[in-house]
Structures are given as C-alpha cells and as structure tokens.
Amino acid sequence: MKLSTKGRYGLKAMYDLAIHFGDGPIALKNIAERQRISDHYLEQLVATLRKAGLVKSVRGAQGGYMLANEPKDITVGDIIRTLEGPLGPSECVLEDDPTMCHNADCCVTRIVWEKIRISISDVIDSITLQDMVDDYYKIKNKGNYMYYI
Amino acid sequence: MKLSTKGRYGLKAMYDLAIHFGDGPIALKNIAERQRISDHYLEQLVATLRKAGLVKSVRGAQGGYMLANEPKDITVGDIIRTLEGPLGPSECVLEDDPTMCHNADCCVTRIVWEKIRISISDVIDSITLQDMVDDYYKIKNKGNYMYYI
DNA sequence: TTTAATTCCAAGTAAAATGATTGGAATTCA
DNA sequence: TGAATTCCAATCATTTTACTTGGAATTAAA
C-alpha cells in the first residue's frame, strides 16, 4: 500500500518547481541534486508530467522546466494520478476504468475498498502545490534549516 | 498504491468467517471456493492471521478455522495491518517504525504522506467485520443474489 | 562557430516483490 | 484404518520497480 518512487519523486520535483515558480526554467540536474534523486530517472518522470501538460520545458543550454500553471492550480492528486495511474486499493474500484468484477453489485469487501479510495482522493485533491509552498515558508520562518525538500 | 492480494484475499476470508461466525470450524477449502482463491495460497495468509491471534484453528477431519473474537471486535485495519505490515504511502510515515528520514522535521512532502496515511487509517480502523456482515444482510434483503463474497 | 549545457528518446537490466505451486508431515474425526 | 484437514517449508515463474546506459537534438554563451 505504498506509492512507488514515481509518485514520491514526482511530487518532490513538482514541489521544487513550485518553490521556484516565476524564476524561469529550472534544470533537472539541480532539482535532482536538491531532492537527491537520480537525474536520469527523474527525467522519465518529468517526461510523463510534461506529456500530461503539468510542466513546460525549454531545451538547450540554460534550459529546464517550469510549472505549466500556477501552484494554486495544481493539486497533489493531479501529479500522483499522472505518474501512478488511476488510484484505488483494488482493481475493482480504480478511478476511471474499474476492471468490473461481475459481483460488484453484491460484493461487500468492495464497499470497503471504495471507502478507502474516496478517502485518499479527498486528501490528495484538497492539497495544492501552493499549500506546500505555504508550508515551506511556515516551517522556514520557525527557524528550521530548509533546503527545498 | 494498491493493496496486494494478501490484504484483499485476507479480508475476504475473514469476512467469510464472520458470516459463518458461531457455526463451528470452517474448512479453508470451502472459503477458498466461495471466494475463488487458491486454497494453498490462502493457507499462508490464514497462517499469518492465526499467528496474530485473529483466527483460531481446529486440526484434523471436520476441522477448520474460526474468528478468535466477535466480528464487532475485529476491524479491517487489524486484518490489513497483519497481512500487509504497517501502513503508509511512503517509508518515512509508516505506522510503528518509520524509517526516519534525516530531513523529517523540515520535509514538506512528508506532511502530504502523513495526511494520506491518517485518512486511510481512519477508514480501516472504523470498519469492523460486523459492519460488513450488516452490509451483507442489507444487500441480501434488497433481493440481490449473494454468495458471501 | 564552436562548445558546453541541456532536454529528449529508446533500450536494457538487476533486484525485489508478487502470487502463487509443490510436496509432504501431523492431527483428528468417523 | 482412512479420509479430511491443518501445518510447514521450499521453490518458482512472472511482473514490477528503480534505475542505468548511450546517444541524438537543441540552444545559449564564449
């Protein structure tokens, strides 16, 4: 019941971009260093995020990535779903395209999975990158050492 | 972000035992048939549940398994945690024994994982096997065909 | 115009996890 | 005594995960 590194690294990278929102293109190498992620691996995740329209890229020297929208308009759910696919603790309750169990209408365990799915969705859809940026400044102003992580 | 078959089959089996609570030992073969699970595989899951004190066994012919406590006193969380280990979307927020990240006190993404973990815990700890049995009879009384699934 | 920095793209790969299967010993009821 | 059952240990094929490797294309700066 864990997220893979796709979702976890992906959110870290998007959060990093949110912290630097408005600063022009940010090179992947720098994000990978700050977040301590293999840059070639992160490249694959960011490619997925770019194809989904969550980030924009600038090629060539001095190039890099930027959020495609304001941090307040990107939710954790957008990012995790893009990288991990439709969410749900079981096939039969996946968002979008549940592999329909032929007993779905009378399956009691399915009711449990559905409740779990909804509770996860509620959380990740309610948190935006801006919320995370706000958290960052809150912690920073308390005097904690921070480095965009 | 899916549960493995351990948690999913395990809950189905425990629900099946809850439906038959008070009927004496239920053979694994019958549970496996009803829930359409490999019986040898289910055996391993039930062994884990037995060691955790959630089910009791009776060996020999006419033997089988029974819930160790009343359905109202066993939660979905008890079952899932026994079979899947401590819950959490990331190592750093696992219940019990989080593999402590050295940046935990200033990690903003960790706040997100923690919220997800709590929302899942809230759901699974609030549902008992008795709730599932109640759901079963509710659906059954509406006239739906049901077979303990 | 060259060079360095970067994104973009496609494969390959080692290790771990998943979801079992196989085979048999021990126990108990009929 | 035999059939039904739990108990136990090992093995295994497949898939997934988390990368690595290698290089082409693009662009800013020297």
β partners of residue A64: A58
Q: Say what the pLDDT of residue B101 is.
A: 78
Query: Which of B108, B113, B124 is the best substitution to test chain A (most A C-beta atoms within 10 A)?
Result: B108
| Confidence label for A125 from pLDDT (cuts 50, 70 and 90) | very high
Q: Which residues touch strand D (CB under 7 A)?
A: A 4-6, 38, 40-41, 44, 59-63; B 25, 27-29, 40, 43-44, 46-47, 50, 57-65
Distances B86 to A90, A135, B94 between C-alpha atoms, Å: 18, 27, 6
pTM for this predicted structure: 0.95
Cβ of residue A61 near strand C, that is under 7 Å? yes
Of A78-87, A93-102, A124-133, B50-59, where does mean pLDDT reach its minimum?
A93-102
Instruction: Give A109→chain B minimum CA distance, Å.
Output: 7
What is the pLDDT, as a whole number, of residue B102?
A: 74
Q: With an 8 Å Cβ cutoff, are A1 and B108 in contact?
A: no
Nearest CA to CA, how far is A42 from chain B (Å)? 16
CA gap A64, B82 in Å, rounded: 45
**Maximum distance among all alpha carbons in chain A?**
59
Alpha-carbon gap, residue A36 to A125, rounded angstroms: 26
* pLDDT for the residue numbered A147: 63
Ordered domains of chain A (ranges, CATH) = 5-141 (1.10.10.10)
pLDDT band at B111; cut points 50, 70, 90? very high
Quote the DSSP letter at residue A20: T
Amino acid letter, residue B60: G
Q: A82 CB contacts (<8 Å, ≥6 apart)? A: A10, A48, A49, A52, A54
Is residue A144 helix, strand or coil? coil
Q: Specify the higher pLDDT residue, A22 or B146.
A: A22
Average pLDDT over residues A88-110: 83
**pLDDT at B86 exceeding the cut of 90:** yes
- The whole-number pLDDT of residue B146 equals 65
pLDDT band at A16 (very low <50, low <70, confident <90, very high): very high
Q: Smallest Cα–Cα separation from B100: which of B90, B112, B108, B109?
A: B90
What percent of chain A has a predicted confidence (pLDDT) above 70? 93
Q: What is the DSSP string of chain B?
A: ----HHHHHHHHHHHHHHHTTTS--B-HHHHHHHHT--HHHHHHHHHHHHHTTSEEEE-STT-EEEESS-GGG-BHHHHHHHHH-S--SSGGG-SSS----TTGGG-HHHHHHHHHHHHHHHHHHH-BHHHHHHHHHHHHHTT------
| Token pair of B71 as six digits | 């359905």
Beta carbons within 8 Å of A27's beta carbon, 6+ residues apart: A63, A64, A65
What count of Cα atoms within 13 Å lies in the side-chain half-sphere of residue B117?
21
Q: How many residues does chain B have?
A: 149
pLDDT band at A149 (very low <50, low <70, confident <90, very high): low
Residues 6+ apart with CB under 8 A from B38: B32
Chain A hits for B139, Cβ within 8 Å: 106, 108
Determine, for residues B106 and A144 on separate chains, whether the beta-carbon distance falls below 8 Å: yes
pLDDT of residue A146: 66
Name the amino acid, one letter, at A106: C
Dihedral over alpha carbons B73, B77, B82, B84 (to 10 degrees): 160
Q: Which is higher by pLDDT, B146 or A125?
A: A125
* pLDDT over 90 at A98, yes or no: no
Query: By CB neighbour count within 10 A (0-12 exposed, 13-18 middle, 19+ buried), where does B68 fall?
Result: middle
The DSSP symbol for A56 reads: E
